[in-house]
Amino acid sequence: MQRLILSALLVATWAASSRAAEPDRPSYSAAISIPLPDGRWDLLSVDSVHHRVLVARGDSVTIVDLANGTARSAGSLTRGHAAVAIDGTDLVAVTSGGDDSVRLINAATGEQTASIAVGQNPDAAFYDPRSKHLIVMNAKGGTVSIVDPQAAKVVSTIAVKPGLELSTLIGPDLLAINDEDTNEIELIDLKRGAMLKPIPLPGCEGPTGIAFDPADGLLLSACANGQAALIDTHTRRLIKLLPIGKGPDGALFDRQRRRFLVPCGQSGTLSVFEVGAGRQVTALPPVKTETSARTAALDAVSGRVYLPAARFEPAAAGGRPTLIAGSVHLIELEPAHVR
C-alpha cells in the first residue's frame, strides 16, 4: 500500500439538485489533542466499549485511553497497518505487514496472545460482529483472510487480486474492497468465497478509503487523484466523481448524522459530504485539521472523529519527510452541536 503524507483539498457537490452548502455552517470543532509516542502511523479505529482509540504503528499498537487522555504502546509488530478491537473481549487485532501475520494483543496487559499467519502484506482489516470474524486484506498477495480470533486461526482464504486496500460490508455477506492497482471495487461473496463482477471506477486513480451509507445504498471511495467516487450499490455503477484533496487515506460514514468524511493530509482539512432526502449529497465547508492528518476513525456513538498528525522536516531530494520528535498527537473533532 502506498500512502501519501501530503495532500490538498477541494470540495464539490454531487448532482445539480443538491442544495448549496452553507458557507458559515460549522460541522465540526476541535476538542482536544492527545500526545502519542513518536513514530509513523497507519490506520486506526475506535473501541467505543472501552472508550479507546487504537492506532497501528510501525512497531507496535498505540492504545489511547480517552477517559484520561493518555497513550501507551503495546505489542511488537513489523510494519503495523490496521488495529481493531474484538467485540466482547479485551483483545486488539493488528495486521503486521512485514511478517505476514495478524497479532492478537491483550489491551489490558499489553501482552501478545497469538500470532496468526495470513497472506502476503496484510494491510486493512475490520471485525464483523455478525460472523465474529476478522476480515483481513492481504495487499500484495491479493487475498482475503477470514480469521476466527477466538480460535486464533484462519478459517478460509479467498483469492482476489493484488492491490487490495480498505474494505467494507455492503450486505450481510457482500464485501467491497478498493483495488488501487486496477482502479475498481472488488466484490466478494463471503458466503461462497467467490469473486463477483467488480465495479469499475473511471476517473478514480488509486482508491484507498471506502465508506458505506446502508440506508441509501451509497458507497464512497477516496481516490489518490483528488476525486471521490460515489457509487450506487443497487445498480453497482459509478454515479459521480466528487472533487476532494490529493492523498486521502481513509473515508468514513456517520450514520447518525448522515455524513461522508474524507481526511486529506496536505491541506490539513476534513472534507464533509451530507446525505439528504432523495439521496441528495451536499458538500459542507471543509473542516480545518492539521497537515499530515490523512487517516481517521469515527466514534459512532458520539460522532467524534480522531486523526493522528505530526510535524515533519522537509524531505531531501528523493527522500521522505523527517518526523519531528515529540510532535505526534491525536486530534479529536466533535460535531458542532455536541458543545
Q: How far is CA 123 from CA 55, 154, 185, 261, 277, in A?
A: 13, 16, 16, 21, 36
Domain boundaries, the chain: 28-338
Helix (H, G, I), strand (E, B) or coil at 268: coil
Each residue's pLDDT tens digit in the chain (339 positions)? Answer: 444 333 333 233 333 333 344 445 569 998 899 999 999 999 999 999 999 999 999 999 999 999 999 999 999 999 999 999 999 999 999 999 999 999 999 999 999 999 999 999 999 999 999 999 999 999 999 999 999 999 999 999 999 999 999 999 999 999 999 999 999 999 999 999 999 999 999 999 999 999 999 999 999 999 999 999 999 999 999 999 999 987 899 999 999 999 999 999 888 999 999 999 999 998 998 999 999 999 999 999 999 999 999 999 988 888 888 999 999 999 999 998 644
238 bridge partner residues: 231
Q: How far apart are CA 228 and CA 176, in angstroms?
A: 16
Q: State in words which class domain 28-338 has.
A: mainly beta
Alpha helices, DSSP H, located in 60-210: none
Residue 164 near residue 138, CB atoms below 8 Å: yes
Residue 37 near residue 23, CB atoms below 8 Å: no
Q: Which three cell numbers stand for residue 311?
A: 510535524
Phi, psi of 278 (to 5 degrees): 70, 20
Q: How far apart are CA 56 and CA 263, in angstroms?
A: 17
Among 248, 291, 244, smallest CA distance to 268 is for 291
